[in-house]
Structure 1
Amino acid sequence: MASVRSCQCHTNGSVSEVCNKETGRCECKQNVAGRQCDECIPNCWWDAELQDCIPCGCSPPGSMSQRCDAEGRCICRPGFVGRHCNLRRQGYERRETRRPVERVPLSAVHQRWGGSSRTGGCPRGAYRPSPGTQTHGISTGGVCVPCHCNSFGSKSFDCDEAGQCRCQPGVSGPKCDRCSRGFFNFQEGGCTPCQCTHVGNNCDTNTGQCICPPNTIGERCDHCAPNHWGHDITTGCKVLDKYNPPDHFLPESYTCFFLLKLPRYSCKQVLEEKLKYAIHFCKSIDTDDYARIALSGEPAADDSSEDSDNEDADSFASDSTQDYLTGH
């Protein structure tokens, strides 16, 4: 069964990443050629700083041809100098040994400052994957492959030895092609920070609208939804299992006491451990904050309820229990 290959349109040389469905040919920018838009047309050279194919601009009187080398330098006639061979120097004859280049692949461009060992000896805009690495399903170990850095999200045409491009602020991904968490509006030059400090800077990557962390409620997303606990500004709240309540999330500075859940029970029932359903209230020693944990179980079916000596305390327990179970 034949494998389906992606377009592999060069991000800097193509108009878009979409190619012709029948031919697989990408739509190239001006002065760019090749099936994947990864070559400059004749008489042009690749400028890594501008990330574009630039016409050589060789002077007809002073150059051997309209072609230039990979650095954009024309081949001058004797007596002519300059990048474009447009300067005349009397009594000077220049011997050129470089040969003109017919086509200059973007994946093999040699700039004056050359490649470096950090990219495996590859030219700028390319890197050498480790042996066994596959790119688009094709083994590429040992050869130089294009970095394909996104022109909007990357700082340059270069990448490191692992193929990671140098991203603009707020941009992430191997090719610098998406906003990092806490940023939105992917565009040339980077992404915009979310204005959502109250929800851990979590926002929609397209609109910038603040997004509440999971299982939180309230205008500022600062409360846990019913039957949830452990509010965190970034991760949200955890689901509370009332039959298996958490018992290790309270700080050491908390002291605890019990309040009974209605129907009322006597102290005798509590001491005899016949009461199996209660609310565990904890008050911080340092602050007035309260933490509450639901304890599991139900009272025995054959136990009879007895009136409490303090109805106000029972009423407070009931109200507090209801307040806890609704997440407030």
Structure 2
Amino acid sequence: MSALRAAAVLLLSLIVPTCTGEGGNCSCDISNSRCDEFGVCRCDPGWDGERCDRCALTPGCVHGSCEQPWQCTCASGWAGRFCDKDLSICSRQQPCHNGATCVMEDSGDFSCLCPEGFHGPTCQRRTGPCYLNRSPCKNGGQCEDGDGFAAELTCRCLAGFTGRRCETDVDDCTMKPCANGATCLDGVNRFSCVCPAGFSGRFCTVNLDDCASRPCLNGGRCLDRAGGFRCVCRPSFTGAACETPLRGREPGWTTLGWDGGGTSERSAAPTSSGGNSSRHGDRLLKVTVSERRGGLSEPQLIVLLVLAAVTLGAVVLTAALVLQGHCRNCGHAPCWTSLTSSRRSRQRAQECHISFLNAAEPEKKKLNVV
């Protein structure tokens, strides 16, 4: 470790100005710095340089110098806190317009003495309609007259206002931004929507979940709707919230239908013989008929048609085979080849019928003999 320390001290002595010792033997400016144990100058705040003999300027100082830290002493021809104001601006740049006189001030700024009929920081504005009429624009509108050189003034309105003098508030509800029957309230360059029950959001487009509070009773299923809900009740309950049991109805009436939505349509008719109610002893039995509508779907209809076609084909084929067998027994050609003539068909049918009867008589005789 001692060898490493000695090497570090030797390297620093070659690169950085060293101190020859303590007190008066140190080469650093002892009033602005000190020597550390390695002989390196450590500057006080506000001083800089190898020997800590250079003061630091005020941050932002442009044309200045210092004798003490954080000073900004302006050079000749410059003024201001940061020495950034040119004292010869009136003679070199002539910033004043329309024949105005430029005057330098002690702070380093300049001012313009405007001639009659002109005004403004550099006398660039003419005494025009806006200056004479004291800006007739309303609702914060800006008066413009081309720096006084225009014959007539105009008003540049703020957002939300219109008109020659910005006197008219724009109706922000013209485009009907509120949805679902909400009420639009016009404001200054804005609008607001008063949403109906069941909706929220800036434009009333968010449908609130009316089933969040679980309004359906007795195991009913809640269906959320736009601005409301619908309860699908169990078969034994009815009502808007499925709160009414069906057994609480008057005896002697029949329920002919149930829409399953918390409400039921009831068609009542007095019970009579042959109706939907009957008596067992002295008790009246109530019958609830659920009316359901149904029909064949398209795939079922196609299958039915295919089966009907297959059945019809089988019937036709069977009839043709039977007819061909009878015709062969008669000793004639197949029957379908002779169907071109209706007369021949009738004759052959009669012959086949007679031959069939003649063939049947010996059988009857045999049976009688036996």
> So what's the TM-score if we normalise by structure 2?
0.23
Flag the structure with higher helix content: 2
Flag the structure with higher strand content: 1
User: RCO greater where, 1 or 2, for CA within 8 Å and sep 6 or more?
Assistant: 1
